[in-house]
């Protein structure tokens, strides 16, 4: 009888722990899902990091374009000629850093990163207005050294029609990061709380509490 009671207590404790982890993950997951639809959202402009062959991390701000319902894939747009593309081609994974000052929530997440199918990228590019194509329309690759400050765009850019900027489609790509790990930190003067997660492709998130 005693063993049976102990077993029931352990089972209730495990259920409660799962519920607590789910509640802790609920706020950041809601923030992630709602970010791509709101340019003023605190998670709309995360830091995206790759690592070069020399082992030095290279962070930069990107626009979060899409998040799936289960928070397993994140999408952003980029120029295929960029340094981040070189890093990913050499085997680097991609990782994101999000911060919400209102809730004091920090989320880090990352995993293997690959290019979206060509038809998906082309459809997304065609929907971009002219000003939205600037980041992919420079004559030379991003990072190319120049003697004077310049946008890198063709000299007649301002006079061009949208159709005359279609050449930039060859530079445009969508990066899909398939999340394998995540780290959620809530800062609080009464005591910080942290939880780390891991998953395999096709699997659910597995969460564990961690020391902040």
CA distance 160 to 165: 7
CATH class for the domain made up of 17-29+60-143+159-210: mainly beta
Q: What is the pLDDT of residue 106?
A: 98
Strand, coil or helix: 103: coil
E strand or H helix that includes residue 88: helix 83-89
How many Cα atoms occupy the beta-carbon half-sphere of 93 within 13 Å?
A: 12
Among 143, 55, 42, residue whose Cα is nearest residue 97: 42
Residue boundaries of the structural domains of the chain: 17-29+60-143+159-210
Q: What is the pTM of this model?
A: 0.90
pLDDT in tens, 155-208: 999 999 999 999 999 999 999 999 999 999 999 999 999 999 999 988 999 999
E strand or H helix that includes residue 27: helix 2-34
CA distance 185 to 105: 6
Q: What is the pLDDT of residue 101?
A: 97
φ, ψ at 105 (rounded to 5°): -105, 130
User: How many other CB atoms are there within 10 angstroms of residue 32's CB atom?
Assistant: 22
Q: What is the pLDDT of residue 202?
A: 86
CA distance 50 to 94: 5
Q: Which residues of the chain have pLDDT under 50?
A: 1, 4-6, 9-10, 13
- 181, 198 contact by CB (below 8 A): yes
Q: Which residues have CB under 8 Å from 142's CB, separation 6+?
A: 79, 81, 82, 83, 152
Largest CA distance in the chain: 85
CA distance 131 to 193: 41
């Amino acid at each position: 009888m005693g063993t049976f009671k102990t077993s029931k207590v352990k089972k209730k404790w495990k259920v409660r722990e799962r519920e607590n982890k789910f509640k802790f993950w609920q706020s950041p997951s809601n923030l992630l899902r709602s970010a791509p639809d709101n340019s003023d959202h605190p998670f709309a402009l995360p830091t995206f990091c790759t690592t070069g062959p020399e082992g030095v991390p290279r962070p930069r701000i990107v626009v979060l374009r899409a998040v799936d319902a289960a928070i397993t894939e994140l999408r952003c747009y980029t120029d295929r000629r960029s340094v981040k593309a070189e890093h990913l081609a050499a085997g680097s994974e991609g990782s994101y850093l999000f911060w919400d000052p209102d809730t004091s929530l920090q989320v880090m997440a990352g995993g293997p990163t690959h290019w979206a199918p060509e038809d998906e990228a082309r459809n997304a590019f065609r929907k971009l207005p002219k000003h939205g194509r600037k980041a992919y329309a420079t004559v030379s690759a991003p990072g190319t050294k120049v003697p004077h400050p310049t946008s890198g765009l063709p000299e007649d850019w301002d006079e061009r029609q949208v159709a005359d900027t279609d050449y930039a489609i060859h530079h445009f790509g969508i990066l899909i990061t398939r999340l394998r790990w995540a780290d959620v930190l809530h800062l609080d003067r009464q005591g910080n709380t942290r939880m780390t997660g891991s998953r395999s492709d096709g699997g659910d998130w597995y969460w564990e509490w961690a020391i902040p």
